Amino acid sequence: SAAEKGGWSSFMAKEISEQPEAVANTIRGRVVDEQVVLPELEGLDEVLTDIDRIIIIACGTASYSGLVGKYAIEKWARVPVEVELSHEFRYRDPVLSERTLVVSISQSGETMDTLMAVKYAIANGARTLSICNTQGATIARESDAVVYTHAGPEVAVASTKAFVAQITALYLFGLHLARLRGTVEQGRAAELVAELRAVPDKIAKVLESADEIDQLARWMSDSRAVLFLGRHVGYPIALEGALKLKELAYIHAEGFAAGELKHGPIALIEPGQPVFVVVPSPRDPGSLHSKVVSNIQEIRARGARVLAVAEEGDVAVLPFADEVIRIPLAAPLFEPLLTVVPLQLFAMSLATAKGLDVDQPRNLAKSVTVE
């Protein structure tokens, strides 16, 4: 009903707007003396110090949060992390031991493929942790431990606020693990915590560009195909941006790692082809920014219509981008919580412009409880 939507045109619009709180609520109660402490993992210190490998399993949007988590957890905790779709993991005879931690991510906690993968992991001797948004869900109950995301109930079929909460939970888990394993120095950990706590206000800032993105989406509502490029943590966001557009607007969309461009995707570029590019921060020490700017030049030279999602003050993209959507400065690893927002808004606006039901896209279910 209209009342349940709190004045918003759809649950999705409402849930996108709730993302600052989803992140803030997921952090709340989990920082002690500027260090991350997850009380629900109390008693697991020995297990978490001893694991030699993490496998993240999930489906759909949740799997892309896992890909973002991989970058952060490996960087901070120095434990190898693999990310695998639940339905692939379970049927390939994966190598597991009691030193393997299988982390499942699920908004509903009821996705059948993920549940069966968790049961498989348990039966094969692995330890299990669930990242879940639904209190008491089956996957949470089956697992050794659960870190709840506190995004609140998500009604729209396409996941938005649960996604940013999942990424936040993975950052917290990475910092918790790093503290236990002594891989991030305390002062640095405190800086990271402060940066993470600053994210909700920055998401609110990105939400202010909703009208501008809405206009852009309306202009582009007859697009046949849209490509998304990203690098490092921008890569999973490119995948998520493409998924949102498929789910909501029924437009063919693909996300690519920008470094793969010359290995195939560049053949798709023809005059007028819209390409979203998630641009890494120019402050990133890895000089990925200049590499992505070169990619933008390459596709622009072939006629692509470039829509750049770039940090405020990044002027290097200006000469080559048709549109620039700005995000506030943030620590590079935390940027996904900001860069995903314009892509969600874009997909929602484009679907709305096409007269589609953004809360209930055709053929999809909120929770897939069959294999």
Sequence-ordered strand ranges (E) for the chain: 31-32, 35-36, 53-58, 81-85, 100-106, 127-132, 145-148, 225-230, 252-257, 274-278, 305-311, 323-327
Binding of ligand G6P by 59 (CB under 6 A) = yes
Q: Cα–Cα distance between 128 and 338 in angstroms, integer?
A: 29
Q: What angle do CA 24, 141, 125 make, to 5 degrees?
A: 110
Nearest alpha-carbon partner for 270 in 207, 323, 224 = 224
**Which of the stretches 26-34, 59-67, 203-211, 352-360 binds ligand G6P when contact is defined by CB under 6 A?**
59-67
At its nearest, how many Å lie between ligand G6P and the CB of residue 159? 4
Binding of ligand G6P by 130 (CB under 6 A) = no
**Which of the stretches 57-65, 209-217, 270-278, 295-303 binds ligand G6P when contact is defined by CB under 6 A?**
57-65
Mark whether 246 is an active-site residue. Answer: no
Task: Decide if 357 contacts 11 (C-beta within 8 A).
Answer: no
The number of beta carbons lying within 10 Å of the beta carbon of residue 74 is 14
Interactions with ligand G6P, residue window 154-173 (CB under 6 A): 157-159
At its nearest, how many Å lie between ligand G6P and the CB of residue 158? 5
At its nearest, how many Å lie between ligand G6P and the CB of residue 108? 3
Give Cα separations from 222 to 46, 102, 113, 325 (angstroms): 55, 42, 35, 21
Q: Cα–Cα distance between 163 and 260 in angstroms, integer?
A: 25
Q: Out of 10, 19, 106, 344, name the contact with ligand G6P by CB under 6 A.
A: 106
Binding of ligand G6P by 107 (CB under 6 A) = yes
Binding of ligand G6P by 364 (CB under 6 A) = yes
At its nearest, how many Å lie between ligand G6P and the CB of residue 232? 22
Binding of ligand G6P by 26 (CB under 6 A) = no
Contacting positions for ligand G6P (CB under 6 A) = 59-62, 106-108, 111, 114, 157-159, 364, 366-368
Task: Indicate which residues carry an active-site annotation.
Answer: 366
